[in-house]
A and B are shown apart, each in its own frame.
Chain A
Amino acid sequence: MAGGGRGLGFTAGLAVAVVTIQVAASSAHKVFYLTQLTMSAYAMLIVLGLALLMGYAGQASMGQAGFFAIGGYTAAFLTTFDLAPHRGSVVVSLLGRMHLLLTRADGSGGSITHVHPWAAALFAIVLAAAIAWLVAGPVFRLRGHYLAMATLGFGIIVHRIFLGSSLFGAADGISDVPALALLPGFAITGRAASRVSNYYAAWGVVLLTLWMLSNLIDSRIGRALRAIHGSENAAAAVGIPIARFKTQVFVLAASLAAVAGVLLTHFNGGIGPSDASVMKSVRFVAIVAVGGMANLRGALAMGTVLTFLSLRGYFGTFDDLVFGGILLAMMLFAPEGIVGGQLWQRLKSANPLKVR
């Protein structure tokens, strides 16, 4: 399925595709496609993490949008909250001495002092990972429906907190988020001039993640995950520390979602409560289901296509219907996804302990 050598081959092939598309788009004067492909790329980070969690570790999560929002909102808040009035306080002067503050002109002619985007990004990702680690304990004591509902509940609470609190802009969200400078001369930003570089940055991150996860799946850890998915009792019997692995995968998936949140927020220049909604989480689950639960490449391919079309308004007023319908059709007829994979079937038939 995902042999190490073939994994690299696919990643390389994808890299070639990415470059080809960019050159084609630029020369055909359709550079604006790249913007939506960039947004799709970041969504795929979430999907890859979820595919690992659902397909390999076999744990449903209907709250990934919550981690995306924690990452994005934290980064947005820290880079737009003016610390100048609090210059005297202990925390702010400490941050200043550690060179973690940035002063820049804000949109309306004044100046604003806030946490440096780099520090904010790092903090946001670590925060999301920490929350995931804390939540994983109680969540993984549950099974099946209860587990799914617990993750759903988590997603809803995050959504409600961001929606209800004026510190995070309530219904309006946070806007005027500055660019995230990665290298001298290059930043994550939505400006038209940086479109091509941002496209490569986004897809670079996705390719790196894909390669990383493919290696993970082929390693001992991946085999342990598949054992857990197949039968927890059997896996425990051979001494696999189940709880630890499940937690680690959960934290990994949450961190990926948070990274996507941070980068996309800087790219879009803002974030709002609708980015944390239940429908977003369901869409990610739908994409993983379509691509094939245990199939990173399938999820990536189908997910990019669907997200790109949705962002372009291709489905018009039937957008949610398309995603719901695809979810339904996939689960009914091809639970292993369109892009195939015998892993699912092998797991199902090989495990006599599975009751349903």
Chain B
Amino acid sequence: MSMIRKMTVLTACAVLLAALPAAAAETIKIGAVLAVTGPAAFLGAPEAKTLEMLAAQFNAAGGIKGMKVELLIKDTAGDAEKALSLAKQLVEEEKVFAVIGPSTSGESMKIKQYMDENATLLISCAAAEAITTPIMKWVFKTPQNDANAARWIFTDMKKKGIKKIGVLASNSGFGKAGAGQLEKLAPEFGIEIAISESYDKAAVDLDAEVTKLKSKDVQAVVNWSIEPAQSKVPVSMRKMGWMVPLYQSHGFGNIKYAEAAGPAAEGILFPAGRLLVADGLADSNAQKALLLKYKKDFEAATKEAPSTFGGHAYDAFTLLAKAIEVGGPDKEKARAALENLKGFVGTAGVFTFSATDHNGLGMDAFELLTVKGGKFVLAP
């Protein structure tokens, strides 16, 4: 009897053990705080779509280091207070591993201290240099530095012998930061900014502002903005018959902006990531393959041409994935791995981080582009 009892118990145990569900596949939670709707939606919407696309791709290929990616995208509608609230929610409630975003500089400035204090990686898709200067241990960003964009513009101006310029910047964080960089760096290149004005990022028409610049007889104009309204500056200028060289920032990196300006866009010079001219790159270029793939995937997923804005999210995600692969699902180790990444190919450029550089991109992340025949091409 006791033998049968023993056997019954053992069998029961065996059955129970077999019936236990296989250990659930591990997931890694990645949060994103983006301006999917609202006044910065032209940034957040492509960023969100890019992240969703990448998460699906990674999961189809087995996830990151065998862990399934659970992507949590929260919409801030461009509101900094909401960004903070949602970031706190993601970190404390959802216990995400890292946060990608926000889309705008203002939102990033508001949450970076919190992220740093709570030892969670923040990889921002916003451009302001102030995000990574001074360095905070846990805060990184993927867009190129506006200072370098300014240097590209000034280098070209110096080559062309331009000495006196006018600056128009939008009143967003991006515009303001850019105008600041231009003012700071102009003396280094012997260039005088005769007039610098900012315009509302939702401006209906910019004829008056452009006329004011024209009255100062400048030799070139820099239009620094990331919003759709920037297309109105070339239109106003060319319509008035004012044909001086027009430079724009890397915020012009969306073919729709060139289309909106129509023939006025011809000849605009601007520094940008190579994503926009991927087809025209030499095959030996380290970024070409990646750029073409992103372009193809994005167009297939969204039926739109890719912009450099979505590319910043692409870089944030792939960098994070690499950091986790190298350092494992441990926050501190992944952070250290990210900080030590060198030569990582992304859409914005080739990233090389260090303890003193949490942006990882230098002057060579840009190319000088121009608009020819309504398309972006490398400037001669």
Contact = CB atoms under 8 A, between A and B. Distances in A.
Direct contact of A and B (CB under 8 A): yes
A164 B84 contact: no
Given A30-B93, A35-B85, A173 B75 contact: no
B173 interface: yes
Contacts of B128: 172
A215 interface: no
B150 interface: no
A230 interface: no
Contacts of B36: 317
A32 B88 contact: yes
Interface residues of A, number: 37
B80 A269 contact: no
A312 B89 contact: yes
B77 interface: yes
Interface stretch (A16-24, A88-96, A122-130, A270-278): A270-278
B77 A319 contact: yes
B189 to A, nearest CB: 23
B133 to A, nearest CB: 9
Contacts, number: 95
Given A35-B88, A166-B176, A313 B106 contact: no
Interface string B27-38: 000000000110
A313 B75 CA distance: 7
Contact of B105 (A172, A190, A312): A172
B117 A313 contact: no
A36 B85 contact: yes
Given A171-B176, A172-B173, A175-B113, A274 B79 contact: yes
A270 B109 contact: yes
A142 interface: no
B251 interface: no
Contact of B113 (A30, A31, A35, A107): A107
Interface string A156-198: 0000000110100011110110000000000000111000000
A320 B92 contact: no
A204 interface: no
Given A171-B172, A313-B89, A269 B109 contact: no
A32 B92 CA distance: 6
B112 to A, nearest CB: 8
Nearest to A316: B75
B171 A171 contact: yes
Interface string B274-285: 000000000000
A46 interface: no
Q: Can you list the 9 inter-chain pairs with the closest CB atoms, starting with the nearest?
A: A32-B92, A171-B173, A311-B85, A272-B80, A108-B134, A317-B37, A32-B93, A313-B74, A172-B106
Interface of A: 30-33, 35-36, 39, 107-109, 163-164, 166, 170-173, 175-176, 190-192, 268-270, 272-275, 310-313, 316-317, 319-320
25 contacts: A30-B93, A32-B89, A33-B93, A35-B92, A171-B105, A171-B106, A171-B175, A172-B130, A172-B173, A173-B106, A191-B117, A192-B92, A269-B113, A270-B110, A272-B81, A274-B79, A274-B80, A312-B85, A313-B75, A313-B82, A313-B85, A313-B89, A317-B37, A319-B37, A319-B77
